[in-house]
Structures are given as C-alpha cells and as structure tokens.
Structure 1
C-alpha cells in the first residue's frame, strides 16, 4: 500500500506576532512558495512575511489534514500557541529541518 504524506502546518513571522495555518502535500515546496510569494502577489504570507515553520503534523489522508487545518483555524491564538509549545516549546524555526534555509530561487527548476 502506498504511503501518502499530507501536512497541516503553522507558520509565523520573524517576530512571532502573526500565525498562519495551512495544509500541503509537500512542506518543502510550500515553504518555498510562501518565501518567494509564487502565488498571488497580495496573499497573506507574502504581505506579512509569514514563512517560518513552527509546527506541523503529518497525515496519510488529505481529508484528515484539511479537517485539522479547519479545526485549528477556528481556535483563538492562545490555543494555537499552546499547540505549538506542546511540540516546540522554544518556537524554533523548523525550516532548516525540512530544507536548506533560506531557499534558493531555482528550487522549481531542479
């Protein structure tokens, strides 16, 4: 049986003032997209420079990852902070555990 990977994740800014919750099937690709703003130019993560990974969970099924994303998005910030601190008490930026950080602009050309 094939193993699929889907992720629910939380990003923050360098000052940790803003939180963003998302879902993806590739953390490395998604972090690249957030960092370089390869989506719409006026999106949330580009506007606030919100691309530091502080929390993530892996799921085998996309519907589970999406359900978790929706659940977390409905929480108050304090509850999101407690979730982050339960796995990452120092709020370390986990990007370097996923990929070379900061990413190189030619990642999509490889």
Structure 2
C-alpha cells in the first residue's frame, strides 16, 4: 500500500534541550526511519539526532524549503520555542508520522 507523500520540515534532537537538526523531506516517515537507523551521513549521525521532536507539513516542496531556510536562519531559542509549544516533553513524534 502506497503512503501519501507530503513535503515536511522537521526537527530531530538527541535529547531534551540537546543538539537539534532542522531538515526538509517529501517523506517524513522514511526520512525519520533513516535518521533513527543512523543511515544519514553527517551532522545527525555524528550527534545522534534520532528523535523527531517537531514537524510541519506543507502543501508544496517549495514552501517547505522556504520554511526550512527560515528556521535555519533563526536562533536556537526560536527553534526550541517551536518544539516546546507543540511538544513540551520532547516526546518522539515518529509514531505519529508512521500511523
């Protein structure tokens, strides 16, 4: 059965208030799995960012990329505020995206 693919901006973390990573994808379930398995070379594997703590769906990849750039250009404080607003306990939201 095919999953619906939808552009998404997401934040992965290694622990509450720890290292965070902002990314964009067209398949958050697959990308989240890749991060969790350590299959994504670079920053997220180096810092063990395996917990999906925030995500935002977008109607187009263009809007998702613009939002990713906006978040990456913003401060860490603003990124943490986004996470805490939706997910104050920094729960792993991966189960939501694979349901």
Q: Normalising to structure 1: TM-score of the pair? A: 0.78
Gaps of 5+ in 2: none
Aligned counterpart, 1:94: 93
Matched residue count: 96
SS at match of 2:62: helix
Query: CA–CA distance in 1 between the matches of 2:97 and 2:35?
Result: 14
Q: Normalising to structure 2: TM-score of the pair? A: 0.86
- Name segments (4+ residues, structure 1) moved above 4 Å: none
Aligned counterpart, 1:83: 82
Structure 1 residue 44 displacement after superposition: 0.6
Structure 1 residue 9 displacement after superposition: 0.4
Residues 23 and 15 (structure 1), Cα distance of their counterparts in 2 relative to 1, 3 Å cut: same
Structure 1 residue 33 displacement after superposition: 1.2
Which of the pair has more CA radius of gyration? 1
Aligned counterpart, 1:108: none
